[in-house]
Amino acid sequence: MAQRVVSIGSRSGLHARPAATFVQAASQASLPVTIAVDGKPPVAADSMLGVMTLGAGYGDQVTLTADGDRAEAVLEELAALLSKELDA
Buried b (16+ CB within 10 A) or exposed e, 53-78: ebebebeeebebbbeeeebeebbeeb
Confirm whether 2 is a catalytic residue: no
Q: Which of 6, 15, 62, 71 is catalytic?
A: 15
| Residues with catalytic function | 15
